[in-house]
Amino acid sequence: MRCVSEDGPVAHERVLVVIPAWNERDALPSVLAEMREALPEVSVVVVDDGSVDGTAAVAESLGVRALRMPFNVGVGGAMRAGFLFAQREGFDYVVQVDADGQHNPADVERLLEVAHAGNDVVVGSRFSGVGDYTVRGPRMWAMRVLSWSVSSIAGTRLRDVTSGFRLSGPRAIELFARAYPPEYLGDTVESLILAHRAGLAIEQVPVAMRSRVAGTPSQNPFKSTLYLARAGLVLALAVLREPPAKDRL
Amino acid sequence: MNIQWTSLVAAALVLFVTIELVRRRQLREKYAAVWLVVSLLAVVLALFPKVLTTVSTRLGFEVPTNFLFAVAGLILLFVSMQLSLQVGRLEDRSQRLAEEVALLKEKLHRDAD
């Protein structure tokens, strides 16, 4: 990927798109084709999170590298493997993109632009005016409370902290390869707090979401309350926690 | 020092130790949650002992401390059950990882020849 930098006319940067995928054999081909079309210079790796439907084989048959997790580790665990891979292979930027096609590859350029303006983590936000993505009811309130809390702690206005569309720069890759939280809600809420506490700059970019290929999000008030309670605990503990030591996994 | 102070100090100590362990990244949220809830409840009971008496009488316990022991026993049972389940899962996973490494090593050696 080329860009104009301050100290030179053109700098070559290596961008890696990481796609965590769990049983996404059917959705993957169109997502990968679109990625190649929109971002021909960008490398892609699929992290097959213990799929039983041959997700990794599908990716490889399309010429895309795949990491096979030996068992299901969740999105956070899969992303951590992706960050470690990016670090070992010397990539400058990691972009997390969902395997179900809800993120538009064309938006990656916009995330990169914001990163070049001096940000370490850039979140593609679904509620910032672009597109018609909406959620209603208890789920909406849960997400709003969560966004508000994380924004207050991080000191940045973030409207969509649970977005799975994000870019991480060199400093974030170094941190996340070592300490990306693999637990529940760790990949969304806790990772942002972690980044903020490590002194990284977080910014958001409005993006349009496309409808999910399959599955409907929960609208159950009980589940939303439980979700919020768990998120609250994760949040409170994330704030208390010391940043992870460099010599400890 | 009366019993109220003793129990308050003990409960606060458990709460402090739990939070400190989480803060130092020695204890994960998953396992901290139950201890946080237990120690918070213990603090409440130490501050308002009437709550314990009322609840235990309502539930048919003749002596409030018996209620306390029963609850403590149940919590410990729950925690050890949770830990046993996790250990089983970890054993499965480490076995699987050993298999994966063995297969990869075999492949590496074969490719090297």
Does residue B82 form part of some domain?
yes
Tell me whether residues B29 and A71 touch, CB distance under 8 A.
Answer: no
| Minimal-distance CA residue of chain A relative to B29 | A234
Starting at the edge strand found earlier in the chain, the sheet holding A202-206 runs A65-68, A43-48, A15-21, A93-96, A166-168, A121-125, A202-206
CB contact under 8 A, B23 and A242: yes
Instruction: Examine residue A227 and state whether it is found in any structural domain, yes or no.
Output: no
Q: Spell out which chain A residues touch chain B, with contact meaning CB-CB distance below 8 angstroms.
A: 70-71, 183-184, 233-234, 237, 240-242, 244, 248
Tell whether B68 and B38 lie within a shared domain. no
Q: How confident is the model at residue A9 (pLDDT cuts 50, 70, 90)?
A: very low
In a domain, A39, yes or no: yes
Q: Write out the residue range of the structural domain in which residue B16 sits.
A: 1-47
pLDDT tens for residues A147-193? 888 898 888 888 888 888 999 999 999 999 998 988 877 888 889 99
> How many residues comprise chain A?
249
H or E segment at A248? none
Distance, in Å, from the CA atom of A166 to the CA atom of A93, rounded to the nearest integer, reads: 10
The pair of three-digit structure tokens given for residue A231, joined into one six-digit string: 């998120």
Predicted TM-score of the model (pTM): 0.84
pLDDT surpasses 60 at B101: yes
| B15-30 pLDDT, tens digit each | 999 989 988 888 888 8
**B11 and B28 Cβ atoms separated by less than 8 Å:** no
Residue A248 lies in a domain: no
- Its domain, for residue A165, covers 2-135+154-216
In a domain, A86, yes or no: yes
**How many domains does the structure of chain B reveal?**
2
CATH number at residue A193: 3.90.550.10
In a domain, A129, yes or no: yes
User: Which H or E run includes A134?
Assistant: none
Residue A223: its pLDDT value, please?
A: 80
Q: Which of A138 and A70 is assigned the larger pLDDT?
A: A70
- Tell whether B81 and B40 lie within a shared domain: no
B30: chain A residues, CB-CB within 8 Å? 183-184
- The total of structural domains in chain A comes to 1
pLDDT at A66: 97
> Do the domain assignments include residue A140?
no
Partner-chain contact A237 B29, CB within 8 Å = yes
The string of DSSP codes covering B27-90 is: S-HHHHHHHHHHHHHHHHHHH-HHHHHHHHHHTT-SSHHHHHHHHHHHHHHHHHHHHHHHHHHH
Paired strand residues for A43: A16
For residues B41 and B1, state if they share a domain: yes
Q: How far away is chain B from the Cα of A113, in angstroms, using its nearest Cα?
A: 35
Whether B52 maps to a domain, the answer reads: no
Nearest Cα residue in chain A from B90: A71
**B7: distance to nearest CA of chain A, Å?**
25
Chain B environment of A242 (Cβ under 8 Å) = 23-25
Of B22, B29, B96, the CB nearest to A70: B96
For residues B1 and B41, membership in a common domain is answered with: yes
In a domain, B56, yes or no: no
